[in-house]
Amino acid sequence: MEFTSLLDTSLDLNAKPPRIFDGNPVLKQEVPSDFIQLGRNVAVKEEKGALMEELKRVNEENRKLTELLTVICENYNELKKQLTEYTSKNPASKKRKAESSINNGSINHGTNSHDDSSSSDEDSSKKPREEHIKAQTSRFYVRAAASDTSLIVKDGYQWRKYGQKVTRDNPSPRAYFKCSFAPTCPVKKKVQRSIDDQSILVATYEGEHNHLQPSKIEAASGSNCCVTLGKTPTSVSSSGATAALDRTKPKQNADNARNSIRKIDSPEFQRYFVEQMASSLTKDPNFTASIAAAISGKFLQKNPETGKW
DNA sequence: CGAATTTGACCCGCGC
DNA sequence: GCGCGGGTCAAATTCG
């Protein structure tokens, strides 16, 4: 079974099976004689049978991939749970390194409540800088063309760039923006390409706007999709390619860690996560290769007799 | 010409 | 105390 072909047939897990024979000119065609009509009907039936077989096969592959993705989701959740437990048991663990390792994780789709909590668990009332970190932070993932180097995330607000840095753990530069209403509005954001998928921009927002959006114009045009700074924990742009997740208040650390896991366990998240993974798989060849390797590893682990993992 | 962006220098916290 | 790295500042440059 070729993995990529399997993926191609599994892109839209919620799509209805295609209505293959709708509008088929052969079926609508007027025929001059019963004989020709009969011959054509036989040919159409054969073609239909072959296509139905193909459809069946595709559906089966689709189902298998869905199962695989579910397993990956479960493993991901399990690892996340373990990480949460570990960080809560080891509050003195190296903060910065822990953060970077989390950020380096293969697909950290916006669930940033843990690294936030790890940074504010200890000495929460220490310094002004710590208070600044305590300001509401959120992380958004925006799909953008890999060739697009602008690091601009259109979110309806106006931003002024005040710095750019290349960080150690990610070769892509990180851009620093302040809300153009500063100093009245204290909101800042950082934008950096995902280390795993160069077509994903990771936008980290700090603080909350104390004013309305300068423009209500939809910013979905151009190479970037629109991100909405909604209050909901999960929101997806109309294109479906943009993820906006986990707008979490760091001060609710412990609860958030649990809620985050609960959110991850929710069927909505599972479905969304599967869609995101499928999207990533088809768009990033490296990621495809990595997941293919991981899945093939799973196949090898599978018990051939029971057929279970 | 003013606003926005770029970019090197500087500051500060953290780990060793 | 020193070096490293992330974040910010501000002068220089670019753009509309």
Q: Is the pLDDT of residue A182 over 60?
A: yes
Distance measured from the CA of protein residue A144 to the C1' of nucleotide C8, in angstroms: 27
Q: Measuring CA to CA, which residue among A45, A67, A65 is closest to residue A57?
A: A65
pLDDT band for A215, please (50, 70, 90 cuts): low
**Which nucleotides of chain B does any protein CB come within 7 A of?**
4-9, 12-16
- Please spell the DSSP secondary structure of A32-75, one letter per residue: S-HHHHHHHHHHHHHHHHHHHHHHHHHHHHHHHHHHHHHHHHHH
Question: What average pLDDT does this structure show over A125-150?
Answer: 58
Q: What are the backbone dihedrals phi and psi of residue A62, each rounded to the nearest 5 degrees, phi first? A: -60, -45
Question: What average pLDDT does this structure show over A208-212?
Answer: 74
What is the pLDDT at residue A135? 57
Q: Is the CB of A18 under 7 A from strand C?
A: no
Mean pLDDT of all residues belonging to chain A: 54
β-sheet bridge partners, residue A154? none
**How do residues A20-58 score in pLDDT, each as one tens digit?**
333 333 333 333 445 445 445 555 566 677 788 888 887
For residues A153 and A201, the answer to whether their CB atoms sit within 8 Å is yes
- Please spell the DSSP secondary structure of A225-286, one letter per residue: PP----SSSEEE-TTS--EEE----GGGHHHHHHHHHHHHHSHHHHHHHHHHHHHHHHH-HH
Residue A60 CA to residue A54 CA, distance in Å, equals 10
Cβ contacts, strand B, under 7 angstroms: A 94-96, 126-127, 129, 158-165, 175, 180
- Cβ burial of A22 (10 Å; 0-12, 13-18, 19+) is exposed
Q: Give chain A residues 139-168 with Cβ within 7 A of strand C.
A: 162-163, 165, 167-168
Question: What average pLDDT does this structure show over A231-239?
Answer: 33
Structure tokens at A106: 């293969």
Output the pTM of the full model.
0.42
Collect all residues with Cβ–Cβ distance below 8 Å to A85 and sequence separation of at least 6.
none
Q: Nearest nt to A158, CA vs C1'? A: B4
Residue A138 CA to residue A246 CA, distance in Å, equals 7
**How do residues A154-166 score in pLDDT, each as one tens digit?**
677 888 888 888 8
**Which nucleotides of chain C does any protein CB come within 7 A of?**
4-10
pLDDT band for A147, please (50, 70, 90 cuts): low
What is the pLDDT at residue A84? 58
pLDDT band for A189, please (50, 70, 90 cuts): confident
Q: Nearest nt to A129, CA vs C1'? A: B13
pLDDT band for A181, please (50, 70, 90 cuts): confident
Query: Who wins on pLDDT, A85 or A167?
Result: A167
For residues A139 and A112, the answer to whether their CB atoms sit within 8 Å is yes
Collect all residues with Cβ–Cβ distance below 8 Å to A223 and sequence separation of at least 6.
A144, A145, A148
- Residue closest to C10, CA→C1'? A162
pLDDT band for A309, please (50, 70, 90 cuts): very low
For residues A205 and A229, the answer to whether their CB atoms sit within 8 Å is yes
Query: Who wins on pLDDT, A306 or A70?
Result: A70
Residue A154 CA to residue A227 CA, distance in Å, equals 7
Query: Who wins on pLDDT, A304 or A80?
Result: A80
Question: What average pLDDT does this structure show over A266-289?
Answer: 48
Distance measured from the CA of protein residue A233 to the C1' of nucleotide B9, in angstroms: 40
Question: What average pLDDT does this structure show over A119-132?
Answer: 36
Distance measured from the CA of protein residue A123 to the C1' of nucleotide C5, in angstroms: 21
Collect all residues with Cβ–Cβ distance below 8 Å to A36 and sequence separation of at least 6.
none
Q: Is the pLDDT of residue A86 over 60?
A: no
What is the pLDDT at residue A205? 86
Q: Nearest nt to A204, CA vs C1'? A: C7
Q: Is the pLDDT of residue A266 over 60?
A: no
Residue A260 CA to residue A138 CA, distance in Å, equals 13
For residues A250 and A136, the answer to whether their CB atoms sit within 8 Å is yes
For residues A244 and A231, the answer to whether their CB atoms sit within 8 Å is no
